[in-house]
Amino acid sequence: MEELLNQYKTVTQDNATIWFKVGKTTDFPANGGACIKHQNKQIAVYNFSLTSSWYACQNLCPHKMEMVLSRGMIGDREGIPKVACPLHKKTFSLEDGSNLNGEDYKIAVYPVKIEDEMVYIGFAE
Ligand code: FES
């Protein structure tokens, strides 16, 4: 379990060393999420089309170690983009991965960039 969680480490725009192309912008549902795979990682990618913003995080919910976050409800809390796990509604910031319920769970987040209608996720490897 711990090993599964340890695969995921937050990457920032500044420390991304590779940008992995995950598809066209139109491959991702408007105001929703989708899951992509990169090496052994499942990454949830979110298209906040209302604000033209994109976010990515581990697909693994740290609460019960379920690969479900791409199917979570997205929105914002006081301007912080967030995802709520579809199983028990634990809610995470998509900016820094912190748990917005004040619990001791955290998720890894990844930078996203759009170039020529293609979506790229940044990894540090
Ligand atoms: S598995 Fe995600 S909140 Fe419980």
Give the model confidence (pLDDT) of 12-47 as tens digits. 999 999 999 999 999 999 999 999 999 999 999 999
CATH of range 2-123; options 2.102.10.10, 2.160.20.10, 3.40.50.10800, 1.10.10.10: 2.102.10.10
Give the model confidence (pLDDT) of 43-66 as tens digits. 999 999 989 999 999 999 999 999
Percent of the chain at pLDDT > 90 equals: 94
Residue 66 beta carbon below 6 angstroms from any ligand 1 atom: yes
Q: Report whether pLDDT(98) > 90.
A: yes
Residue from 22, 91, 99 nearest 54 by CA: 22
Distance CA 4, CA 117 (A): 32
Question: Which whole number is the average pLDDT over 95-99?
Answer: 97
Residue 4 beta carbon below 6 angstroms from any ligand 1 atom: no
pLDDT on residue 108: 98
